[in-house]
Every structure is written in C-alpha cells, then in structure tokens.
C-alpha cells in the first residue's frame, strides 16, 4: 500500500500530496519472500526489530483466574524511531505493523544471514533438531495450531533437558517470553498442588 503525506507550499499556501513509498505488513513482506507469517516473524525477531508483547484481553469484571492474554510480535520502538516501520491499529483497534521502504531494504540486506543463523543454531544440537521435528509433527496433526505458550509448554513436558534459549530458538518466541511462560507454568503447578514450603 502506498503511503502519502500532505505537504504545504510555504510560498503559495497550496497543499499537495507527496508519496512516502510502498509500505507493507509483515505478513505481506513474508509472502514476498515466499515464507509464512511464523517464519517471517522468527527471522525479524532474530534481526532484533520485532519483540514479544503481552496484550491483556480480559473482559471487564472477570475474575483474576479468568485473565486472557495474547502475545503479539510488534516492531520495537527503536525500529520505529529508525524509520524501519510504523505501529498501527485497525478500525476495530487490532494492532498491526507495516514496514517502510527503508525497513524492507534494511531487512533485504540481512535476510539470508538471519535465516542461516536460525538454521545453524537449530541443527547444531541433535536434541534440538529432534525436539523441533517432534513439535512440527505434533502440530501438523492438530486441527488448530499451538500458540507460542502452548509450544513452549509442550517442549517443556516432552523434552525436559532443553534449555530455555534452545526452546526460544525452536519456537521463535523470545527468551524473555519463554522465561515468562516457564515461570507462569511453575506458579500454576504450585497453585494446583499447594506450596510445599508452607
């Protein structure tokens, strides 16, 4: 989609439109690269221009244990300041991000290296590769995919020796979010079985 801005001629006072170039959503950029929404977000997270953000979607008046959250990968404030993209909201207040022409060019220059890094990190340990294949096989057989937290918890349950950084690389969730999911899972188990320290 082409973005424009209004420009005022200070001599005549006339207002005209100036093109800001062709901007595209992250999913559209992935389509241009021939990859799906998950893969493009993994690569952009690896490049450091996307970060995980937790959005509270709990209905008003809901009890604390009925909290609902969504994790979204959004452009970092630094990427926005550098002019690589914008953080926007749709008419119904759903957040989405668009990449500027400058951002697309910046990613184009780094794409192949980021993909190689992700691939090398994943296959560098046989246990990571086995866990990745097992998770892919499990999710392929499901009608609905797992969200990032579901993937992390599945790996924690089935591959107990994986480190959090490895889980992050397999799932594409940031290390901070993996740590958050692990901590929340521990607290949930303590709540079910009582605090052994009491």
DSSP 5-18: EEEE-TTT--EEEE
Stated as kind and residue range, the H or E segment containing 62 is none
Q: Give pLDDT tens digits for 81-122.
A: 999 999 888 777 778 899 999 999 999 999 999 888 877 766
- Residue range 47-65: average pLDDT? 78
Whether 162 has a pLDDT exceeding 90, the answer reads no
User: Given this model, what pLDDT does residue 104 score?
Assistant: 94
Taking CB atoms within 8 Å and a gap of at least 24, the contacts of 100-103 are 100/20, 100/21, 100/23, 101/20, 101/21, 101/22, 101/23, 103/49, 103/79
The structure's pTM equals 0.58
Of the chain, the percentage scoring pLDDT greater than 90 comes to 22
Q: 110: closest CA among 64, 171, 47?
A: 47
Whether 196 has a pLDDT exceeding 60, the answer reads no
Q: Where are the beta strands (DSSP E) in 90-173?
A: 95-99
Point out the least confidently predicted range of 31-35, 71-75, 84-88: 71-75
What's the mean per-residue pLDDT of the chain?
80
Whether 168 has a pLDDT exceeding 60, the answer reads yes
> Residue 109 to residues 11, 28, 170: CA-CA distances in angstroms?
40, 18, 24
- DSSP for 159-196, written as a single string: -TT--HHHHHHHH---HHHHHHHHHHHHHHHHHHH--T
């Amino acid at each position: 989609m082409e973005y424009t801005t209004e420009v005022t001629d200070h001599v005549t006072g006339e207002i005209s439109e100036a093109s800001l170039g062709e901007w595209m959503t992250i999913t559209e950029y992935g389509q241009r690269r021939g990859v799906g929404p998950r893969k493009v977000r993994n690569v952009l997270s690896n490049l450091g221009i996307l970060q995980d953000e937790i959005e509270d979607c709990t209905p008003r008046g809901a009890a604390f244990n009925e909290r609902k959250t969504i994790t979204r990968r959004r452009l970092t404030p630094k990427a926005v300041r550098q002019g690589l993209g914008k953080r926007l909201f749709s008419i119904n207040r759903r957040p989405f991000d668009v990449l500027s022409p400058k951002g697309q060019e910046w990613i184009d220059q780094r794409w192949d290296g980021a993909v190689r890094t992700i691939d090398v990190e994943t296959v560098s340990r046989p246990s990571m590769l086995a866990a990745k294949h097992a998770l892919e096989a499990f999710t392929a057989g499901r009608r609905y995919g797992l969200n990032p937290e579901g993937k992390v918890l599945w790996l924690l349950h089935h591959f107990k020796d994986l480190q959090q950084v490895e889980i992050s690389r397999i799932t594409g969730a940031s290390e901070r979010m993996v740590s958050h999911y692990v901590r929340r899972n521990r607290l949930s188990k303590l709540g079910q079985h009582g605090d052994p320290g009491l």
